[in-house]
């Protein structure tokens, strides 16, 4: 019989509603799992044990007194350290913010709590969320449970590892350049990057995000099952929270004529694609064809220019202050090394400067809209390579190819489209996966297609941390 920490969020909620287990039992099981494995992977940075058990006891008492159970009743969740949680520090992985305690929850966290979810821990991230490997000077490095010698991804790497190892069935991260989808790929779990405007960005006065993050970044869930992505997503989209981008659009769009067409994109327009990544996409294409989708290989419109426009907007409009302090005064030595190594490649990735990048963004969006009006779904790599060895992203030569490797992820951020990351199996001892991209506000189509791939793929997680290449346990 499966232990509680092995169960999916939907199953846990049903057990609580049917009074087969209490919320306290569910929460305690996950706190015990954190105690058992977190020291080996360093994914959960702050354990919210007392608060979680207190919330569970209060909700259990209300259930005994006849109060209706919420749809996420008793489901434990972890939350990345750049998301506001009342009474907990929003550190962004920076030591200087270790005491930046949030006075209230971010809108989607408040909504998830109202649906019955219970935060059990905060999770690790790279400094500023600006690295594709998770580690910082405040909390240290997070280890991939599949192989300590490979990155867990970033910037939502702490949540991906926590979910992959059973410390929580759902994690709350965010995605400004693949930061949900890339760690999901590295750790063998699922992730949903919602459409721009779907989930409110912030409800705190006086702390607006820079324009680039308002436009390009979104909050989203990580889970072991596509059904749990859908369950969490349905209960994190209902509060505007003062976000001017927020759009209260129906979660379920109109039915589409069948068979639904899927464009398979293999060519990232430069840099090549790792054979294991190609195999994962081809496998997923075959599974979708078996499920009744009409699968065709195409080239994505304006992909190279989309990557350049993304880089220009992020470069020019991601600062929170007019006077930016030197990075070495805020970040760890390792992050300073990373940025020094990456900055030349980042600057080259901007390409020819646009007169007005938002005008070019609109032109690219129109081209994608025309393309997706004929083939609504896109099946593509998340990244052109699988999880890289720890330390590779400190090598300037290796980093030269990284912007091109991520083009199919950052175009999703540039255009505000939804995408679901879903595992397809493993190769070389590491998980493999793909992303399903859909039209704006059609997360339902992406989730449906991802569920078909998942149904035809062996489960990869939850996983006990494996041995690293030296034979030492993670």
- With helix as H, strand as E and coil as C, how does the chain read? CCCHHHCCHHHHHHHHHCCCCCHHHHHHHHHHHHHHHHHHHCCEEEECHHHHHHHHHHHHHHHHCCCCCCCCCCCEEEEECCCCCECCECCCCCHHHCCCEECCCCHHHHHHHHCCCEEEEEECCCHHHCCCCCEECCCEECCCCCCCCECCCCCCHHHHHHHHCCCCCEEEEEECCCCCHHHHHHHCCEEEECCCCCCCCCCCCCCCCCHHHHHHCEEEEEECCHHHHHHHHCCCCCCCCCCCCCCCCCCCCCCCCCCCEEEECCCCCCCCCCHHHHHHHHHHHHHHHHCCCEEEECCCCCHHHHHHHHHHHHHHCCCCCCCCCCHHHCCCHHHHHHHHHHHHHHHHHCCCCCCCHHHHHHHHHHHHHHHHHHCCEEEECCCCCCCCECCHHHCHHHHCCHHHHCHHHHHHHHHCCCEEEEEEEEECCEEEEEEEECCCCCHHHHHHHHHHHHHCCCCCCCCCCCECCCCCEC
Separation CA 124–CA 292 (nearest Å): 40
The residue among 469 and 45 whose pLDDT is bigger is 45
Say how many residues make up the chain: 474
pLDDT above 70 as % of the chain? 97
pLDDT at residue 275 is higher than 70: yes
What pLDDT sits at residue 105? 95
Mean pLDDT to the nearest integer, 260-285: 93
What pLDDT sits at residue 132? 96
CATH of domain 4-455: 3.90.1300.10
Longest dimension (CA), the chain: 65
Pairing of strands 190-193, 419-427: antiparallel
Separation CA 158–CA 151 (nearest Å): 11
- CB contact set of 307 (below 8 Å; sequence gap of 6+): 349, 351, 403, 404, 406, 407, 410, 411
Separation CA 126–CA 153 (nearest Å): 10
What pLDDT sits at residue 205? 55
What pLDDT sits at residue 473? 57
What pLDDT sits at residue 328? 83
Separation CA 323–CA 376 (nearest Å): 43
Of 43-57, 239-253, 359-373, the range with the lowest mean pLDDT is 239-253
What Rg value do the Cα atoms of the chain yield, rounded?
21
Task: Report the candidate in 216, 214, 266, 269 with the shortest Cα–Cα distance to residue 403.
Answer: 269
Q: Is 296:264 a contact under the CB 8 Å cutoff?
A: yes
pLDDT at residue 469 is higher than 50: no
- CB contact set of 360 (below 8 Å; sequence gap of 6+): 305, 309, 354
Q: What is the pLDDT of residues 386-427, one digit of tens each?
A: 999 999 999 999 999 999 999 999 999 999 999 999 999 999
Locate 225 and state its tokens: 């099952």
Separation CA 184–CA 182 (nearest Å): 5
Separation CA 279–CA 91 (nearest Å): 39
Q: Is 186:241 a contact under the CB 8 Å cutoff?
A: no
Separation CA 351–CA 310 (nearest Å): 10
pTM for the structure as a whole: 0.97
Task: Report the candidate in 269, 241, 279 with the shortest Cα–Cα distance to residue 428.
Answer: 279
Task: Report the candidate in 348, 345, 333, 351 with the shortest Cα–Cα distance to residue 396.
Answer: 345
Helical pair 357-374 and 303-316, crossing angle rounded to 10 deg: 140
Separation CA 445–CA 439 (nearest Å): 9
Q: What confidence tier does 439 reach under pLDDT thresholds 50, 70, 90?
A: very high
pLDDT at residue 209 is higher than 90: no
Separation CA 237–CA 108 (nearest Å): 7
The catalytic site residues sit at 80, 155, 179
Q: Is 88:48 a contact under the CB 8 Å cutoff?
A: yes
Mean pLDDT to the nearest integer, 225-241: 96
pLDDT at residue 472 is higher than 70: no
- CB contact set of 66 (below 8 Å; sequence gap of 6+): none
């Amino acid at each position: 019989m499966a232990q509680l920490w092995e169960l999916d969020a939907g199953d846990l909620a049903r057990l609580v509603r049917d009074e087969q287990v209490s919320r306290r039992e569910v929460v305690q099981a996950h706190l015990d799992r954190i105690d058992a494995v977190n020291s080996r992977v360093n994914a959960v940075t702050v354990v919210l044990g007392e608060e979680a058990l207190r919330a569970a006891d209060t909700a259990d008492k209300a259930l005994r007194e006849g109060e209706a159970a919420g749809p996420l009743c008793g489901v434990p969740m972890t939350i990345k350290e750049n998301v506001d949680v009342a009474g907990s520090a929003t550190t962004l992985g920076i030591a200087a913010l270790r005491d930046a305690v949030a006075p209230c929850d971010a809108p989607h966290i408040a909504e998830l709590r109202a649906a019955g979810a219970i935060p059990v821990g905060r999770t690790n991230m790279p400094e500023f969320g600006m690295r594709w490997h998770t580690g910082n000077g405040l909390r240290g490095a997070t280890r991939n449970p599949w192989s300590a010698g490979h990155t867990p991804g970033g910037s939502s790497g702490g949540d991906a590892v926590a979910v992959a190892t059973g410390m929580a069935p759902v994690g709350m991260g965010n995605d400004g350049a693949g930061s949900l989808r890339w760690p999901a790929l590295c750790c063998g779990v699922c992730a949903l990057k919602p459409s721009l405007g779907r989930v409110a960005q912030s409800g705190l006065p006086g702390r607006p995000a820079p324009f680039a993050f308002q436009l390009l970044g979104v909050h989203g869930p990580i889970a072991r099952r596509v059904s749990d992505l859908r369950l969490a997503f349905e209960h994190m989209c209902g509060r505007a929270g003062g976000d001017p981008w927020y759009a209260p659009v129906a979660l379920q769009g109109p039915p589409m004529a069948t068979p639904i067409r899927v464009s398979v994109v293999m060519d990232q327009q430069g840099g090549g694609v790792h054979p294991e990544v190609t195999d994962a996409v081809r496998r997923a294409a075959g599974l979708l064809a078996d499920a009744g989708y009409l699968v065709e290989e195409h080239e994505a419109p304006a992909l190279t220019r989309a990557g350049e426009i993304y880089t220009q907007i992020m470069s020019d409009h991601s600062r929170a202050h007019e006077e930016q302090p030197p990075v070495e005064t805020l970040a760890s030595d390792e992050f300073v090394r990373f940025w020094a190594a990456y900055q030349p490649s980042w600057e080259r990735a901007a390409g020819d400067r646009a007169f007005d990048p938002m005008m070019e963004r609109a032109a690219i969006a129109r081209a994608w809209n025309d393309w997706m009006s004929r083939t609504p779904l896109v099946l593509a790599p998340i990244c052109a390579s699988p999880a890289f060895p720890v330390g590779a992203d400190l090598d300037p030569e290796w980093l030269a190819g990284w912007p091109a490797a991520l083009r199919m992820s950052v175009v999703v951020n540039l255009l505000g489209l939804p995408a679901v990351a879903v595992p397809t199996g493993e190769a070389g001892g590491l998980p493999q996966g793909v992303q399903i991209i859909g039209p704006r506000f059609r997360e339902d189509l992406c989730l449906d297609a991802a569920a078909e791939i998942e149904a035809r793929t062996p489960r990869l997680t939850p996983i006990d941390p494996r041995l690293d290449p030296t034979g030492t346990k993670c």
